[in-house]
């Protein structure tokens, strides 16, 4: 079995209210280390066999068409990973 990770983040120029809310909550917890927080999505796509280039291409296509909204989000990574990185 193989595994591909797709990572999607809100475009830097787009306001991320969720990230702002998290930053505020962290400060209330006494965690002041961070000047900005942003939240995105992470997907794992499992393949029956080892990951092939065709699988990676299918994951890139899925990332652009279904897993992200190209207007407000960037696909920041599409990569095969080992089981323990998953």
How many residues in the shown chain lie near a second copy by CB under 8 A? Answer: 40
Q: Which residues contact 80 (CB under 8 A, 6 or more apart)?
A: 2, 3, 4, 51, 55, 56
Q: How far is the CB of 71 from a second copy (least distance, A)?
A: 18
47 makes contact with a second copy (CB under 8 A): yes
Vertex 63: Cα angle to 59 and 68 (nearest 5):
165
Binding site for a second copy (CB under 8 A): 1, 4, 7-9, 19, 22, 25-26, 29, 31, 33-48, 54-55, 58-59, 61-62, 65-67, 76-77, 85-86
């Amino acid at each position: 079995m193989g595994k591909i990770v797709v990572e999607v983040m809100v475009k830097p120029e787009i306001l991320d209210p969720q990230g702002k809310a998290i930053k505020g909550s962290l400060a209330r917890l006494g965690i002041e280390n961070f000047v900005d927080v942003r939240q995105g999505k992470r997907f794992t796509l499992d393949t029956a066999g080892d990951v092939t280039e065709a699988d990676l291409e299918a994951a890139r296509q899925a990332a652009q068409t279904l897993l992200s909204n190209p207007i407000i989000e960037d696909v920041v990574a599409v990569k095969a990973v080992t089981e323990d990185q998953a």
